[in-house]
Amino acid sequence: MDTVRLSRQPKILIFGPGWLGHKLAEYLHAELSPIDITDKPAVVALLDRVHPDVVVNAAGKTGKPNIDWCEDHKQETIQSNIVGPLVLLGACEPRGIRLVHLSSGCIFTGASPHTGGFMESDAPNPVSFYSWTKAYADEVLQKFPVLILRLRMPVDKEQNQRNLITKLAGYAKVINVENSITVVDDLLTATKTLIEQGATGIYNVANPGPVRHEEILVMYREIVDPAHVYELVGTEELYDLGLAKAGRSNCVLNTTKLKEAGVILPDARERIRECLLAYKRRLS
Ligand SMILES: NC(=O)c1ccc[n+]([C@@H]2O[C@H](COP(=O)([O-])OP(=O)(O)OC[C@H]3O[C@@H](n4cnc5c(N)ncnc54)[C@H](OP(=O)(O)O)[C@@H]3O)[C@@H](O)[C@H]2O)c1
């Protein structure tokens, strides 16, 4: 692993004023830019004005209301998820600015080739256009000293359409497959630590211990809403019922590399319970 440590707090600039961009900007005390990351002259002008040590790319087309949007908007998805990260790379590299890119564990699906989940070095097997664009960008960025963070099904204490808790609570029919999850507060601390270490390369940023959606919903009923009802369905039924169009990733990420970097994230179930307790307090 190449590492470049700074003797002072790094100046950080974040692109992508979405859910995670806002959270990262607040936590890292960083400027959050709304400019289009595919607009190279605008990106360059901003870098030359701000002179950041680190750029975090939290921009991307994630699909609203979900990744099915990306299947029907392939050009926009390519622009934001592939061209944009390459523009940032092209603007940051000659200026010696370190690039951090938010990627996704959704580039994998199904059983991993070995026990303990998909490792950073495993070949992606994306099942949707969205996840293919994320895998494609990783493929290029990993040839450079970029820090690539692969997160998975973010869980948070605040209600938000992108929070796995809010998503699951909003579904009448739920599949019950084992998945890794990333608690957003833990993503924030892991990102800060890896930036401070000057880490580069790919890191799976997930809480250890995969969970099934039903386990989360059982805790949701216990802590947030005992009246909540849902029905468990098989994965195929989601497509048969027209509830999903693009393939949905289900996978477990191996977190050994993160641990070896000294970033010890708490157990997923324990953290989901804490998030649900805080989620309940905020609702009431
Ligand atoms: N939340 C998740 O489930 C999850 C899981 C794994 C990885 N990630 C990754 O984490 C990153 C942030 O996700 P998020 O959950 O914060 O999603 P989000 O709320 O959709 O935020 C992404 C932001 O990027 C903006 N954007 C899109 N194209 C852009 C462009 N060309 N230039 C500048 N900004 C652009 C979006 O604006 P518009 O809304 O106007 O397009 C949105 O404000 C994404 O790269 C995503 O792939 C997210």
Q: What is the mean pLDDT of residues 143-163?
A: 98
Q: Residue 81 sits in which domain range?
A: 12-283
Going by C-alpha positions, the residue among 87, 122, 130, 102 that lies closest to residue 18 is 102
Confirm whether 165 is domain-assigned. Answer: yes
Q: Is the pLDDT of residue 1 over 60?
A: no
Atom of ligand 1 nearest to the CA of 35: 33
Instruction: Say if 172 falls within a structural domain.
Output: yes
In ligand 1, which atom is closest to the CA atom of 23? Answer: 16
Ligand 1 within 6 A of CB of 104: yes
Residue 4 lies in a domain: no
Q: Is 154 in the pocket of ligand 1 (CB under 6 A)?
A: yes
Give pLDDT, residue 6: 58
**Interval 197-207: pLDDT, tens:** 999 999 999 99
Give the confidence band of 2 by pLDDT, cuts at 50, 70, 90: very low
- The answer to the question of residue 174 being in a domain is yes
Residue 4 has pLDDT above 60, yes or no: no
CA torsion, ordered 94, 20, 259, 278, to nearest 10 deg = 160
Q: Does residue 177 surpass a pLDDT of 80?
A: yes
First to last CA, the chain: 46
pLDDT of 238: 73
Compute the distance from residue 256 Cα to the ligand 1 centre, in Å: 26
Report how far apart, in Å, the C-alpha atoms of 67 and of each of 132, 153, 170, 204 are: 11, 13, 16, 21
How many Å apart are CA 252 and CA 263, to the nearest integer? 18
pLDDT tens profile 103-115: 999 999 999 999 9
Q: Is 7 part of a structural domain of the chain?
A: no
Q: Based on the structure, what is the number of domains in the chain?
A: 1
Compute, in angstroms, the gap from residue 114 CA to the centroid of ligand 1. Answer: 31
Residue 6 counted as domain residue: no
Residue 9 binned pLDDT confidence (cut-offs 50, 70, 90):
confident
pLDDT tens for 228-254 read 999 998 877 777 777 777 778 899 999
Q: Whose CA is nearest to atom 13 of ligand 1?
A: 20
Using CA positions, which residue lies closest to atom 42 of ligand 1? 18
pLDDT tens per residue across span 39-97: 999 999 999 999 999 999 999 999 999 999 999 999 999 999 999 999 999 999 999 99
Q: Determine if ligand 1 sits within 6 Å of the CB of residue 80.
A: yes
Residue nearest atom 43 of ligand 1, based on CA coordinates: 18
Task: Residue 207: give its domain's CATH number.
Answer: 3.40.50.720
Q: Is residue 90 domain-resident?
A: yes
pTM listed for this prediction: 0.95
Q: 67 lies in a domain?
A: yes
How far is the centre of ligand 1, averaged over its atoms, from the C-alpha of 81 (Å)?
A: 9
Q: What is the CA radius of gyration of the chain?
A: 18
Token digits for 175?
């599949």
Q: Is 61 in the pocket of ligand 1 (CB under 6 A)?
A: yes
Average pLDDT over residues 108-130: 96
Q: Is the shortest distance between the CB of 190 and ligand 1 below 6 Å?
A: no
Q: Quick check: 179 and 251 in contact, CB under 8 A? A: yes
